[in-house]
């Protein structure tokens, strides 16, 4: 949890009077940001044979365990084979503004990466089904073993024990460059990267947290709004 005592980083895009900006790159959360609702929560609820997942969720919500320990236990508790999970995922609906965002950034030559605390197999299925398989995606990893799944966390960060997938690692050293980082998210796993991004679009609990902490961000309710705001920033180079 970032300290409110730390000075907030300004969410400011360089103006035309500044030296020419080196451009942008955009990182976006998946669950409840691109998807309608939290897909991973839905899977855990639908395919857990016991209530153990709730105990883990409560321990995580109370801060007694980190997100990685919580997700690891919840995924290991699932009992499901891929065809059932795929059928469940076929019902996932996405914010239609995400296609607009993908298309805008593609036209402008701006890198877009999904960064998610969900799992690669689930996201690959949903993205392919919605014609979005071309969007780069970084997520936790999953393998099947019969009716069980084995999770792993290739983007965990020993310096950030609260995160399962520490999303900021994709744009902090050694993965940083001169481009301004735009981050779009909604929830608790987005707090860590949001405190290191140059421009943050936030909704729901992320927005509430950033406002409480006095950190600059732009509120949004759907990705069509974000796309329109970014189009203005890109074309007029101002907030
Ligand atoms: Mg989310
Ligand atoms: Zn982190």
Which whole number is the average pLDDT over 195-213?
97
Structure confidence at residue 141 (pLDDT): 98
Neighbours of ion ligand 1 (CB under 5 A): 29, 31-33, 186-187
pLDDT tens track for 153-188: 999 999 998 899 999 999 999 999 999 999 999 999
Q: How confident is the model at residue 235 (pLDDT cuts 50, 70, 90)?
A: confident
Q: Is the pLDDT of residue 102 over 70?
A: yes
- Residue 140 C-alpha to ligand 2 middle, in angstroms? 14
- 220 conformational bin, left if phi > 0, alpha if psi -120 to 50, beta if neither: beta
Spatial contact of 82 and 112, defined as CB atoms under 8 Å apart: no
- Residue 137 C-alpha to ligand 1 middle, in angstroms? 14
Return the DSSP state at 117. Answer: E
* Cα 61 to chain centroid, rounded: 18
Residue 152's nearest CA partner among 165, 171, 163 is 165
Q: How many CA within 13 A on the CB side of residue 189? A: 28
pLDDT tens track for 108-138: 999 999 999 999 999 999 999 999 999 999 9
- Residue 146 C-alpha to ligand 2 middle, in angstroms? 32
Q: Is the pLDDT of residue 7 over 80?
A: no
Please name the residue that has the structure tokens 């965002």: 101
- Residue 173 C-alpha to ligand 2 middle, in angstroms? 13
Domains of the chain: 24-37+94-236 (3.40.50.1000)
pLDDT tens track for 39-65: 999 999 999 999 999 999 999 999 999
Which ligand has an atom closest to residue 28 CA? 1
- Residue 190 C-alpha to ligand 1 middle, in angstroms? 7
Structure confidence at residue 18 (pLDDT): 47
Q: What percent of the chain has pLDDT over 90?
A: 87
Structure confidence at residue 21 (pLDDT): 55
Please tell me the distance from the alpha carbon of residue 153 to that of residue 143, in angstroms, as a whole number: 12
């Amino acid at each position: 949890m970032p300290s409110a005592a730390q000075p907030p980083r300004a969410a400011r895009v360089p103006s035309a009077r500044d030296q020419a900006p080196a451009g942008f790159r955009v990182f976006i959360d998946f669950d409840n940001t691109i998807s309608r609702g939290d897909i991973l929560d839905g899977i855990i609820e639908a395919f857990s044979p016991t209530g153990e997942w709730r105990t883990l969720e409560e321990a995580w919500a109370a801060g007694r365990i980190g997100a990685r320990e919580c997700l690891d236990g919840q995924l290991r508790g699932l009992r499901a084979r891929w065809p059932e999970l795929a059928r469940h995922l076929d019902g996932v609906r996405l914010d239609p503004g995400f296609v607009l965002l993908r298309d805008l950034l593609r036209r402008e030559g701006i890198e877009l990466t999904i960064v998610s605390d969900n799992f690669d197999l689930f996201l690959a299925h949903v993205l392919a089904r919605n014609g979005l398989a071309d969007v780069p995606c970084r997520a936790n990893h999953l393998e099947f073993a019969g009716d069980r799944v084995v999770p792993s966390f290739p983007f965990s960060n020993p310096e950030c024990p609260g995160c399962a997938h520490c999303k900021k690692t994709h744009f902090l050293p050694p993965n940083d460059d001169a481009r301004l980082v735009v981050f779009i998210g909604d929830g608790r796993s987005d707090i860590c990267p949001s405190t290191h991004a140059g421009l943050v679009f936030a909704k729901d609990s992320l927005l509430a947290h950033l406002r409480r902490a006095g950190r600059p961000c732009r509120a949004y309710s759907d990705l069509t709004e974000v796309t329109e705001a970014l189009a203005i920033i890109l074309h007029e180079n101002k907030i």
